[in-house]
Amino acid sequence: MKPATVSFNSGGLKLAGHFYKPEGEGPFPVVVMAGGWCYVKELAQPLYAQEFVRNGMAALVFDYANMGESEGQPRQHIDPWQQIENYRDAISYVETRDDVDVNRIGVWGISYSGGHVLILAATDPRVRCAVSNVAVVNGLESMRRTHGAVRFRDLEAAILDDRRKRFKTGDYGYLAMSSREPQSELSTWPLAEVTGPFEHYKATTSPNHEHRSTIASVGHLLDYNVEPFVRRIVNVPVMMTIAENDDITLWDQEQAAFNLIPNPAKKLVVFPSTSHMTLYSDKSRLQIAAETHRSWFVDHLVQFGR
């Protein structure tokens, strides 16, 4: 299933995307999709997009500013609020397409973007429904618990040191996304099992993936919390899927965020015997997740208004 290469503007930058659609003229319901920490559009997202397309939906998968084939400096700088604006502009882009039904726009996110789509569901009235997959919901808690108390002090010190250097020189420092030796090498997500799947994607489908971010990005992550926003999701159907015992994005925190959503049109699915990274490295688990998400979008996008 070969997508069309597209581009659109966001904040004065040209963003790159892949647009997938079913056979026929449309207009089709559409799912707007982006990835998590250091993702590019060729990573895990296409496997989900293809499942949606097989069931009558179009899908837009795009690279955030500063990532992959999109414009933006500094490279690999992850500002969640800029990324959410990129999502909003991606929605504006699909609104301009004749083959899209503007009344049936959904959003999908995984890991960091799993939190972004919850914020979009709360704040963008064009979002008809949302799927949030193994979401980051509280950056501070994720960093404290994945690093542990002593190592978290090192992370905080690195962020402060980088801020001082950046003030003097204007240059951004960088930090590995993960490491095979997390006890000796500081990284953002200090779990050895994170590295392998991303190395595999880079060697196969995602050569534009860079396994690092600016250190300033981690400072933004510490300030990231979806709690004030999920309380505002009163009329948008939301599915949250979480992995049992996920100790990366913290499944208990995800369940707590789900419980705060006041909208009764919500659904929580827990994938048993599944870790956060299993949804990247085990295609059978990924397919189960994709089928679960597809059923939600079929009910709330494809069938909407019929």
192-213 pLDDT, tens digit per residue, is 999 999 999 999 999 999 999 9
Query: 8 forms bridges with which residues in the sheet?
Result: 15
Mean pLDDT of 76-99: 98
Question: In 74-172, where does DSSP find H-type helix?
Answer: 80-95, 112-123, 139-147, 149-169
Q: Would the pTM count as exceeding 0.95? A: yes
% of residues, the chain, pLDDT over 70: 99
pLDDT at 95: 98
pLDDT greater than 80 at residue 305? no
Res 273: pLDDT: 86
Query: What is the per-residue pLDDT across 127-147, written as a single tens digit (0 to 9) for each?
Result: 999 999 999 999 999 999 999
Burial tier of 278 (Cβ tally within 10 Å: 0-12, 13-18, 19+): buried
Per-domain residue ranges of the chain: 4-139+225-302
Q: Which fold has domain 4-139+225-302?
A: Rossmann fold (3.40.50)
pLDDT of residue 306: 58
Q: How far apart are CA 2 and CA 16, in angstroms?
A: 15
pLDDT class for 25, splitting at 50, 70, 90? confident
